[in-house]
Each structure stands twice: as structure tokens, then as C-alpha cells.
Copies of this chain bind each other. A is one copy, B any other.
């Protein structure tokens, strides 16, 4: 069995200039162009020319402009997930001093989210734009978001079980609202237009609200 190590995932052999290279060139062009202008101002033709091919050839590699975006999003989401998992791991083995350790764990998680999307600002903005018109983008994001909601909800419930946090509204509802807040606030911060929190303060502000919503008690009414 003479298996060729240069065979790609799709079993394609390198031609004059490899097809996989072209695919990567399209992705790279997309990320480059989206860093400087909105998705609606980037046409399929722009992506094709940026990758040194014609528009029909673009369709050999991707079904549409949105498919390119989806592909890029997959990567960034994986990155964010990894960063968040790592943030969790760092503070997981400690059940000693509740306040400082717990606070640090939440801070790291929010920071991981913030850093990842800040590093792909253009993509983040493009994703928000595509979400309103593209079903697949919407579903991908819904899945990712649901994952984060479940993590946060589980963490909140764990704190309540330990007696570190008081009972209150369902943990899941709290998690949905807080994660939604992060999403919108960070988006506003990165997009630059409209009222927003300064980038240097945003993690601190969000953290404060998470902590008081989870640990602080609202006045009885």
C-alpha cells in the first residue's frame, strides 16, 4: 500500500499550484479583507481575485461567500473554546478559598472570550452581519452559544450547591442573560460605533455584573 503522505484530507494531489493552497489563499484573503471593510462590501469577485483566480473557479472551492465565513468561524470558535477550557482547568483543582479563586476563574473565562474575538475583530463583525441573513451561520452560533450557556449554568449551580452562591432565578436563565450581555457588549466595543465601554475596562465591568448577579443578593421585594 503505497500511501502518499502528501495526500490531503480530501485525497487530492498537488497540481501546478495545489488546490489546497488556493483554498487557503481564499480564506486568507477573506480574513484580510474583512479586517478592513464589512462583509457586504466584500464580493465573491474580491475573494477570487485576491486569491489569484476567477470567480467561477472560486465556486469550485466554496459554495458561496457565506461558506468561506463559516469555515473561518469554525476555526475561531475552536480557538475560543480551547481558551475557555484552559481557563477553567487552571482554577479547577481548588476547593479551598472560595471568593478570590472563584472570582479569578470567572475573570479568566470572560477574558478568554474577549481576547479571542478581539484578535479576530473583522471576523467577529462579519459573523454578526451574516447571522441576520444566513441560516447556517445562525445555527453554528446558536450551538456555540448553547455550549457556553451550559458551562456557565453548570458552574453557577455548582457554586449554589457549595453554598457559595444564594439560590435565585434558574441558573440557565441567568447564564443565557449574562452570556448575551457579553456578546453584545463586546461586539459594541469592537465595532467602534455607538455607545460602548472602553476596551481597557470592558472585562472588569462585565465581571462585576457576573459576580453580583451570581453571588450578590438583590434586595427583597
| Cβ–Cβ contact B209 & A178, under 8 A | yes
A201-B173 Cα distance, complex, nearest whole Å: 9
- Are B176 and A185 in contact, CB atoms less than 8 angstroms apart? yes
Question: Residue of B at shortest CB range from A217?
Answer: B216
Residue of B145, B184, B193, B221 near A138 (CB, 8 A) is B193
A67 at the interface (CB under 8 A from B): no
Q: Does A138 lie within 8 Å of B219, measured CB to CB?
A: no
Alpha-carbon gap, A173 to B132, bound state (A): 27
- Is B216 touching A196 in the complex (CB atoms < 8 A)? no
Would A132 and B204 count as touching, CB distance under 8 A? Answer: no
Bound state CA distance, A142 and B169, in angstroms?
31
Q: Per a CB cutoff under 8 Å, which of B38, B146, B180, B197 touches A133? A: B38
Asked if A40 is at the interface (CB within 8 A of a chain B CB), the reply is yes
A168 at the binding interface (Cβ < 8 Å): yes
Copies of this protein chain in the complex: 2
Contact of A194 (CB < 8 Å), options: B141, B211, B220 = B141
Q: Does A208 contact B (CB under 8 A)?
A: yes
Residue of B with least CB distance to A99: B219
Interface string of A193-207 (1 = CB under 8 A from B): 111111001001110
Interface positions of A (Cβ within 8 A of B)? 38, 40, 99-100, 102-104, 128-129, 132-133, 138-139, 141-142, 145-146, 149, 168-169, 173-174, 176-178, 180-181, 183-185, 188, 193-198, 201, 204-206, 208-209, 211-213, 215-221
Q: List 20 A-B contacts (CB under 8 A).
A: A40-B132, A99-B220, A99-B221, A100-B221, A103-B219, A104-B221, A128-B132, A138-B193, A145-B194, A169-B204, A173-B198, A173-B201, A176-B185, A176-B197, A177-B209, A181-B184, A183-B184, A208-B218, A211-B219, A212-B212
- Known: A129-B132, A216-B217; 12 extra A-B contacts, CB below 8 A, are A138-B193, A142-B194, A169-B201, A174-B208, A174-B209, A176-B197, A177-B205, A178-B181, A181-B184, A184-B184, A212-B212, A216-B218
Q: List 5 A-B pairs, minimum CB-CB distance, nearest first.
A: A216-B216, A181-B181, A142-B194, A184-B184, A211-B218
